Structure formats: C-alpha cells, structure tokens
C-alpha cells in the first residue's frame, strides 16, 4: 500500500506525457496542411508549418520514449512522422549528390547579399562588398541571381558595370525593387555569361514594388527562362532578433515577452498575406511561360509553406535532387531554416547542390550544376 502514491504519480506523469504527445502529433499533422492552405485565407496553418522542425523532433522523442517503455502508443507519432516523410527530405538529405559531369553543365548561384553590408558583423561596408564580389567571381557560375543588392550611388550604369567587371561576367540584368527610386540602388540582379533575348519583372497588380526579375536566354542550345525571386520579407529588426536571442537565454520578462512575441507574430501575419498574393503572380507567369524554367531566389518561407508548394509544383528542387546534409540557408539569429531555393523544370538533371556556409550575409549562398536531359 505504501507504494501506491508513487505508482499514482508515475501514472499521472504518463497520462500527461500522452496528452502532450497527442496535442503535438495533431499539431504536426496540421503543420503539414500549411502547404495546401492559402495564408491569404488563414495564417494559422502557416504558423504551425514554421514550427515543423520543432514538432517533428518532439514527435520523434515521444516515439522513442514509448518505444523504451514498450508501449504501443509509439504508433501515433510513428504514423504521423511517416505521413510527413516528404517534408522531411526537403530539410535533410542523407545520400551524397551525384558527381558533376566533365562537360555539358551550367552552374547557377543564388545569393541574398543583405544590402552588401552584413549588419551582424560590424565590418566596414567596403570590405564586405569586396568579399562578396570575390566570392561570386570565385564560384565561376554561368548565372548568378542576386537578391538585395544595394548601393548608395545613383550611378546605375557605373555601379553595375563595376559589378560585372569584378565578378567576371559578360552580362548584367537588374531592376530596382522600386523603379521610381532613382536616387539609390536596391535591386534584383542576374549576372550571366549568356545574352538575354528578353527580360521582364514581376510585381503585384497596382503596386510598384517589384519582387521578381526574369531573363530568357539560350542554355545548351535551348531557350530557358531564369527567374530571380525575392518574396516578401518578415522585416525583422534588430530588436526582434534580440528578443529571440533573449528567449533562448531565458532572459525575457512577462511584459517583454508579450510585446516581443506580438510584434513578431504581426509581422509574420502580414508577410504571409503578401507572399500569398505574390505566389499567384508567379504562378500566372509560369503558366504563361513557353520555355523550360529555372527559379532562383529567397522565398522567405520554408519548404513546407504554401508559396513553396505552389511555385515548385511540377518543378524539381535542386537540394532534394542533388543536395547532401542539412539544407538550412538562413544564417541569422533564428532557428535553422531553409528559405533560399533553386528549382528547375524536368528538362534538366541536377548535380552537386551546395550550401556555401560563409559569413558574408544573413543568408548562405546556394549553387548547383544543371545539364540537359
């Protein structure tokens, strides 16, 4: 009889763990739906999708716990994890990528350069600019898609001529995010060794902010449309990153937590809504495109997101096909997430997708080799 209180405590703890298991298993199932529910309608599933890695790991731990306990309850998390096998391979690739053929390939690079002034480092902008140019030039990619290129100058022709020269490219195509701003350069850029036969931009109807640039060019004998996309940012500021860092260290008070979390949730909600509309514009452009496509860019969203699911529909993901290891591309003060992508039509094969873990921006550059089928 003296052991009954202890047994009751163990039973109570077991029931609490099971309840948490059920809640987090349902949450993971709901997170899977973030690929299919338009955040323009509801952002609840989008928020859950953002927590996919946490939910996946906790369900894995629950499964191991029940396995050790010898309970059939492990089947709940096991089933939910098996349902989510496809999202998992978009975050981690175990098998090594294929070896690059000696000829007949086109190398692509995508890089968000964070205004050419890595604010997290406190290094002079000129030094960062030089390092970024040196990195891009050293990669010898046939096409480089650059997001968030910035320069205080209004000498557009001179700045981009210098960029093309220092990175060793024959052609440079660019467009300011806000074309009406002639006093400062803040642009999407496509650097290429091939001439474009046509270029154009993508913007939301009735708005001047342009979030996409594409160029039609001949690659390996075929005309291909190369997109450079930069979907709506969450626009987190220094105080937001500091708040996230303080949480990880357990240094936030109740009032600060409420204000900080509310501010970030509001920004996420707004960005999800904008990206939903931008996704529709990209889909229309893709459906009207008569050529095979390659999409490079910063989606500011994860592989489980609605925008990724819609834009990548019918396309291949270079990381999934030719990557190895973790695919996270954001290097800032957030949990590891993959938000930079290279997608391509089935007309190509991919080799040696690489995340370049260099500290020049809050994004890691990504690259891949493509060849015609």
Domain ranges of the chain: 4-89, 105-238+243-372
Residue-level pLDDT at 1: 44
How high is the pLDDT of residue 298? Answer: 98
Q: Where are the beta strands (DSSP E) in the chain?
A: 92-93, 105-112, 143-151, 171-176, 185-192, 196-203, 210-219, 222-230, 293-298, 316-317, 325-326, 340-344, 348-355, 366-372
Asked if 132 and 116 touch (Cβ cutoff 8 Å), the reply is yes
Asked if 115 and 148 touch (Cβ cutoff 8 Å), the reply is yes
* pLDDT for position 249: 62
pTM: 0.90
Tokens at 188, concatenated: 């999407």
What are the tens digits of pLDDT across the range 6-60?
A: 667 777 888 999 999 999 999 999 999 999 999 999 999 999 999 999 999 999 9
Question: Is residue 39 within 8 Å of 306, Cβ to Cβ?
Answer: yes
What is the tally of helices (H) and strands (E) in the chain? Answer: 11, 14
The pLDDT score that the predictor gives to residue 254 is: 62
Query: What homologous superfamily does CATH list for 105-238+243-372?
Result: Endonuclease/exonuclease/phosphatase (3.60.10.10)
Can you tell me the distance from the alpha carbon of 21 to that of 15, in angstroms, rounded to the nearest whole number?
Answer: 10
Chunk the chain into consecutive blocks of 10 residues (it has 373) and report each block's average pLDDT, rounded to whole numbers.
61 90 97 96 94 94 93 94 90 84 93 81 69 96 97 90 96 92 90 97 88 96 97 79 65 68 86 96 98 98 96 97 92 83 96 95 96 89
Question: Could you tell me the strand order of the sheet in which 366-372 lies?
Answer: 171-176, 185-192, 143-151, 105-112, 366-372, 348-355
339, 299 contact by CB (below 8 A): yes
Spatial contact of 222 and 292, defined as CB atoms under 8 Å apart: yes
d(CA 310, CA 283) in angstroms, rounded, equals 7
Tell me, what's the pLDDT at 14?
Answer: 87
């Amino acid at each position: 009889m003296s052991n009954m209180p202890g047994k009751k405590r163990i039973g109570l703890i077991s029931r609490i763990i099971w309840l948490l298991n059920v809640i987090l298993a349902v949450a993971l199932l709901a997170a899977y739906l973030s690929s299919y529910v338009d955040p323009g309608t509801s952002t609840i599933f989008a928020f859950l999708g953002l927590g996919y890695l946490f939910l996946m790991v906790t369900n894995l731990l629950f499964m191991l716990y029940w396995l050790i306990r010898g309970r059939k309850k492990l089947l709940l998390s096991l089933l939910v994890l098996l349902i989510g096998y496809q999202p998992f391979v978009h975050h981690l690739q175990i098998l090594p990528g294929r070896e690059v053929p000696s000829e007949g390939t086109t190398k692509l690079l995508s890089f968000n350069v964070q205004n050419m002034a890595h604010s997290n480092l406190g290094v002079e902008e000129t030094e960062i600019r030089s390092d970024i140019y040196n990195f891009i030039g050293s990669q010898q990619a046939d096409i480089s898609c650059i997001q968030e290129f910035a320069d205080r100058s209004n000498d557009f022709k001179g700045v981009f001529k210098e960029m093309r020269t220092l990175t060793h490219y024959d052609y440079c195509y660019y467009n300011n995010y806000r074309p009406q701003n002639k006093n400062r350069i803040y642009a999407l850029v496509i650097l290429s060794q091939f001439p474009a036969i046509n270029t154009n931009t993508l913007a939301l109807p009735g708005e001047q902010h342009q979030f996409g640039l594409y160029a039609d060019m001949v690659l390996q004998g075929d005309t291909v449309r190369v997109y450079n996309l930069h979907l709506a940012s969450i626009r987190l500021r220094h105080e937001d990153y500091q708040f996230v860092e303080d949480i990880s260290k357990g240094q936030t008070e109740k009032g600060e937590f409420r204000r900080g979390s509310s501010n970030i949730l509001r920004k996420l909600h707004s960005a999800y809504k904008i990206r939903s509309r931008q996704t529709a514009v990209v889909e229309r452009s893709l459906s009207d495109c008569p050529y095979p496509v390659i999409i490079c860019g910063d989606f500011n969203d994860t592989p489980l997101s609605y925008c990724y699911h819609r834009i990548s529909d019918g396309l291949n993901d270079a990381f999934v096909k030719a990557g190895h290891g973790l695919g996270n591309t954001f290097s800032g003060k957030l949990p590891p997430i993959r938000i930079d992508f290279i997608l391509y039509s089935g007309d190509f094969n991919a080799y040696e997708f690489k995340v370049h873990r260099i500290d020049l921006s809050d994004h890691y550059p990504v690259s891949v080799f493509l060849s015609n089928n």
